Amino acid sequence: MILQSKSAVVTGSTSGIGLAIARAFAAEGANIMINGFGKPEDIETARAGIEAEFGVRCLHSPADMTRGEEIAAMIATAEQAFGAVDVLVNNAGIQFVSPIEDFPVEKWDQIIAINLTAAFHAIRAVTPGMKARGWGRIISTASAHSLVASPFKSAYVAAKHGVVGLTKTAALELAPHGVTVNCISPGYVWTPLVENQIPATMASRGLTREQVINDVLLAAQPTKQFVTPEEVAAIAVFLCSPAAKQMTGANLSVDGGWTAA
Ligand code: NAD
């Protein structure tokens, strides 16, 4: 088990990709702080399930990723509870689909805050401890939209391109300290985030639900299959393994061939 006696914070892990990463890390022996919103009973089921299934400790932080001080407090709480934060996954993210001229300014600000600035706050908070211990893994869930654009997703595409720049910069700063910093760029993964953008894409492009799934989403992926959360989580686990120790500043695509085109 590659994360035995290590601890991880995974933001946005009450659902989707983040929850799959949290569970995969727990399966490798890590204590986990999950984070995110949802119904209290669903969050408790996920948290208690991780503890029961994998025999690790699992805490939930309700920190709001739009608020820097809550992010810093979440990292401090995890350090206090577990003794260290060895692995940070910046995964929380939201989407909003609209032409630029109609894009609500507050939605732009919220997406940049959650999908980009939160990663800065969290990296800033974990760095002193990782440097002191001479080991750390920082992973961000970027997106195929960190490499290519799609119309009507200006804030998301801008934030995800920004995550790549932040990743490269942090990788250079932390390379001498045993800390690697990478991002994973999935194509379309079937999670609530994708499900929820279907109505707006139907409206902005004048398409049916089936047309959005087949002609917009899967049209981008030559494999014609959605990526699974577990496939993304497996790459995160690999990045924590000894084999990945010289990988830093990388952006790993898992997108069914989307960005090869
Ligand atoms: P999801 O909607 O299933 O999960 C998002 C998580 O973020 C949830 O736990 C939610 O509670 C949390 N969250 C949202 N706002 C938050 C806030 N202000 N503070 C704290 N937590 C907050 O989505 P997902 O598809 O699993 O997405 C996870 C990440 O993967 C995102 O960064 C997303 O951009 C990225 N991604 C998703 C896809 C996809 O197709 N699903 C593709 C590429 C990248």
Q: Where are the domains of the chain?
A: 7-188+228-256
Cα–Cα distance between 237 and 209 in angstroms, integer?
A: 34
Cβ < 6 A, ligand 1 pocket: 12-18, 35-38, 64-66, 91-94, 114-115, 141, 143, 186, 188-189, 191-194
Confidence check: pLDDT of 195 > 90: no
SS3 percent helix, strand, coil of the chain, rounded to 5, is 55, 15, 30
Q: Strands of 43-163 (E only): list them.
A: 58-61, 87-90, 136-141
pLDDT mean across residues, the chain: 97
What backbone phi and psi angles, to 5 degrees, belong to 224? 60, 30
Confidence check: pLDDT of 192 > 90: no
**Atom from ligand 1 closest to the CA of residue 142:** 44
* Interval between CA 38 and ligand 1 midpoint (Å): 12
* Interval between CA 80 and ligand 1 midpoint (Å): 26
Percent of the chain whose pLDDT exceeds 90: 92
The closest alpha carbon to 11, from 48, 53, 62, belongs to: 62
Confidence check: pLDDT of 216 > 90: no
Strand order of the β-sheet with 136-141 is 58-61, 31-35, 7-10, 87-90, 136-141, 179-186, 251-254
Q: pTM score, two decimals?
A: 0.96
Tell me what pLDDT residue 243 has.
98
Confidence check: pLDDT of 141 > 90: yes
What backbone phi and psi angles, to 5 degrees, belong to 64? -90, 120
Q: CA neighbours within 13 Å on the CB side: how many for 161?
A: 10
Choosing from 47, 161, 193 the residue with most ligand 1 atoms within 8 A of its CB, the one to mutate for a pocket test is 193
Tell me what pLDDT residue 164 has.
99
Confidence check: pLDDT of 193 > 90: no
- Please check whether the domain covering 7-188+228-256 is classified as CATH 3.90.1150.10: no
Tell me what pLDDT residue 84 has.
98
pLDDT, tens digit, 9 for 90 and up, residues 72-91:
999 999 999 999 999 999 99
